[in-house]
Structure 1
Amino acid sequence: MTGKWWRWLGLLLLVVAVLVATALFVPKENGGYRMKVAQGQGMATVSRQLANDGVVYNRHVLLGAAYVLGIHDKLHAGNYRLPRSISTWQILQRLRDGRPDTVTVQIIEGTTFAQMRRIINQTEDIRHDTRHLSDAELLRQVDAQTPSDKPEGLFFPDSYEIDTDSSDLALYQLAYRTMQKHLQAAWDERQSGLPYQTPYQLLIMASIIEKETGHPDDRAHVSAVFTNRLNIGMRLQTDPTVIYGMGSAYQGRIRRADLQRDTPYNTYTRAGLTPTPIALPGKAALEAAAHPSSEKYLYFVSRMDGSGKSQFSHNLDEHNAAVREFILKQRK
């Protein structure tokens, strides 16, 4: 009996070995697949996605082999183009080599140009040809005809995918062209009667809207507040512009002295728009700058209820009442 059990056990182990070898070394058709590994992602997540998409026979075999090779937590972020037929073992070799075919760089709405540069400078697997350039020099490399030496706001925030070993200049050029396209579309489709003389002024307004809006439903109303103020000669009096003008002096809070200290970006001390954008606005902010709501709002205050929404008011009395309800009451 004992010998019989040993034979059955040996047969079982043989079957398991064949199944594992098949799952690991036999190529599987996938129709041509692009495997995306996000920053910080481990093999557990990647193996689950590959199994769900039918790229591998068995995710547990993939995961176990990754642990044996010691790459389960050392995946290199990027996009990998897989051939139409590939084995699990070959996939592991690609991941171990750590050379993605393309690299994804994400720039979110409201990012400043300085923050964008830091993100790109820290991106691996691309050439950093612009790292030594000043902002003005970089902008001239992107657009030799630009009349400005201030790149703030001129680059569209988005998720960009570029080939491994490409120059970072190509990424800046793509983001710049994309912003020009979206800005021109917003300018061409803008409402009549807006207080902008140029597309650049609309871009400045869009950047302020981007930084001042906590909820997407509020964008058009925030735009209305600022355009209404400009139309009647009222100062914008918006904190994000003050923060931008403070630069590295800003440490997380604005004091009364900061609101009174004059800089080109202090909209409490200076009338009109700021001299440049204060961030990289997204498409929704551009559209809001081109299409403010028809409301005659002049004030708004955060509701402080976790929703991100603001309370809008037509006059100072309404605004003071909103401050008492949503701000002062919260402090009690």
Structure 2
Amino acid sequence: MSELPQEMTVIAISQPGPPEMLKPERRPLPLLQDGEILIEVAAAGVNRPDVMQRQGLYPPPKGASDLPGLEVSGRVVQTGGSAARYRPGDMVTALVPGGGYAEYVAVHETNALPVPTGLSLVEAAALPETFFTVWHNVFERGGLKAGEYLLVHGGSSGIGTTAIQLGRAFGAKAIVTAGSAEKCAACLDLGAVRAIDYHQEDFVEAVREATGDHGADVILDMVGGDYIERNLKAAAPDGRIVQIAFQRGSTATIDFRSLMLKRLTLTGSTLRPRPIAFKAGIAKALEQHVWPRLASGEIRPRIDAVFPLIEAWKAHRRMEEQGHIGKIMLKVR
């Protein structure tokens, strides 16, 4: 291994504001803690929480880097203390609590996974944030089973395209909402059984029609606002509604009679502030149940666009324009 540099290029938030507030800086490499690995970053994913952090709406958890970036792929170049699974030279993808928009990032080895066979490093970097989120919320919290209907709001997003493919792979039937005919077509191509253009149709009625008046057994919602009440109407008896974000707001006035009469479960979670050990549990489940399906080609992340690291501001602008289908990525090296 060649000697590591003293400094690295990172993309920092110069001050809260528009995409242009993302600026390149030079900083020292991260210092490894016990059990951590240092990754020479090849690619990093761009996610909605990065945009919210840049806007000043989503501060990083205590102890995390102030840099945006929640997922990376690359080469292990150093290990710390008791870290034993990976050695320098191994290619990994990792979920990080921050700091992904950089040439190097440190992460606990249990939150990293081997790059699946057959995937490029850009594709591998598109996995952690969405796959960890979907696995935990749809399968662990939502308890999705084969044969059930899964309703995914924002079906063309990184989360949505992941949920469609994972739902299909495990025998469920995905119904999605999306904002254009192009996005709906892309969702159908990925395996959704029904795609609802929310500008043209009422998703409650469309779900009832698509399910033979049964409703959605699991609903994954990142919209919030008025969707909260409507999800109760679209849910099947004994349905599970999982809230993971609030693009239309986190408050709503709802009639709880549907919840009682249908015996619904209304839950939700956030991933970034959860402990390392919790994320390690999700990583273990993904490696067992999902990584073989990635290696076989049954599942593959949908990539919308790739930007150089120093043009991270363009990637954020692409996300804010809301025309993307799948993941927006940064190529670091």
Asked if Structure 1 and Structure 2 have the same fold, meaning a TM-score greater than 0.5 normalized by the shorter chain, the answer is no
TM-score, normalised via structure 2 length: 0.23
**Greater Rg by CA:** 1
More strand by share: 2
More helix by share: 1
Ranked by relative contact order (alpha carbons within 8 Å, sequence separation 6 or more), the top structure is 2
TM-score, normalised via structure 1 length: 0.23
